[in-house]
Chain A
């Protein structure tokens, strides 16, 4: 079925993005299937001192409201989560989130590497990682961790990115499964969801 090699083995999707990813991410969220089965965990670089507004901005167009999880909140199917400002967001064994104020990584807190690495450790081959446009190398190690533990990796096509440093950095160190334009990522997610119904 379709152009991607998919199945219903996946338990979660993590999406990382930075400079130039906002349009792409809102497009993805606006075209998600209604009643999407998998949880989506977004880690997007954002202003550290602005706690409010971002989650609302993402929710406007999304098919489902985006929420910022509390520490130790359970990860629920079909929810869309966003790493809160000035915290790293980790996935714990036992399907819960943990927050942390540890050192910035790649000049970022939240850091995509942390979200992806901890999610990879929890979900292993049952995780999908997607990395979008961005101006630094955050997320490259996270994507590698996902691939190393058997998960599936996708980067936004660098030729489409406003700033392609981030997906390119991932491509440099990992054999990424799919290089896709935003339109195709939307297609991928909709096709994936069909395996869950």
Chain B
């Protein structure tokens, strides 16, 4: 493990901000440091200065760098009890008052949560009523997500999650195996649009009934968490739902009083104030 000092990280984030406009200043230090250490190791760079030099001259490399820095480890139906809650309570509740549902997956990574949602909606028979926008900062992971394919080695875990979710089918019904990957049925994502969007610098671009941002803000420090939460709040219709990761909390956030807790175990909140 490289000995990376905070001054090194500052130098790097400043450089990136000036050159490419991404702001990593307020990423959580512990994981950001570890990700940078990984990049140095993978590329055999002896120091941060070598990394900066490479980034300054190679935009393509920078794209890979962003992909490596942002964490892209995800599962289909992660926390099955959460997905049951969405199916059994949250979606039906929204449909009590609405003909259609707008969903935003903020920080969708390689798409596993989007695919899970799409399958859930199909099994509920309401996919035509739902529009999903899925965004991520990382261009290359988005193009992966658009290919609708998941490494076959992950499918064992995904299937176990799906069984615990108590889906009504066999997960294998939704994909075919091609070259070591499970490729999902394209009809599942007809109402999904994948877009590039940076939660840090990006603007509020739409209003939604349901925003999922699970295990994304854990990579930010509290200053940035507060900023992003303001944007998520603004992106919700009043009485819309915000869902964060099972070990995240709104308790310390400035806008906590604009939400009520719907389900504390699964971290489902409802916006009650503009």
Interface on A for B, CB 8 Å cutoff?
49, 51, 68-73, 84, 86-87, 90-93, 98-103, 114, 117-118, 121, 141, 145
Residue B30 interfacial (CB < 8 Å): yes
**B60 CB to closest chain A CB, in angstroms?**
23
Decide: B247 and A68 in contact? CB cutoff 8 A. yes
Q: How far is the CB of A20 from chain B (nearest CB, A)?
A: 25
A84 proximity list for chain B (CB < 8 A): 246-247
10 pairs of A and B residues whose beta carbons are closest in the complex: A90-B30, A70-B249, A71-B218, A118-B30, A98-B28, A100-B31, A99-B218, A101-B215, A71-B248, A98-B30
Residue of A nearest to B6 (CB): A93
Decide if B135 is an interface residue (CB 8 Å cutoff).
Answer: no
Q: How far is the CA of A68 from the CA of B222 in the complex (A)?
A: 19
CA gap between A68 and B73 in the complex, in Å: 21
Residue of A nearest to B250 (CB): A70
Q: Pull 18 A–B residue pairs with CB atoms less than 8 Å apart, ordered by A.
A: A49-B160, A51-B79, A70-B247, A72-B221, A72-B222, A87-B247, A90-B30, A90-B31, A93-B30, A99-B215, A99-B247, A100-B30, A100-B218, A101-B71, A101-B73, A101-B74, A102-B31, A102-B73
Which of A72, A87, A118 has the most C-beta atoms of chain B within 10 angstroms of its own C-beta? A72
For A68, the chain B residues whose CB sits under 8 A away are 247
- A71 pairs with B73, CB closer than 8 A: no
Nearest A residue to B78, CB-CB: A86
Known: A70-B249, A100-B31, A100-B218. A141 touches B71 (CB 8 A): no
**Interface positions of B from 73 to 126, Cβ below 8 Å from A:** 73-74, 78-81
19 A-B pairs besides A51-B79, A69-B247, A98-B31 with CB distance below 8 A are A49-B80, A51-B246, A70-B251, A71-B217, A72-B28, A72-B225, A72-B252, A91-B30, A92-B28, A92-B221, A93-B6, A93-B29, A93-B30, A98-B30, A101-B74, A101-B215, A101-B218, A101-B245, A117-B1
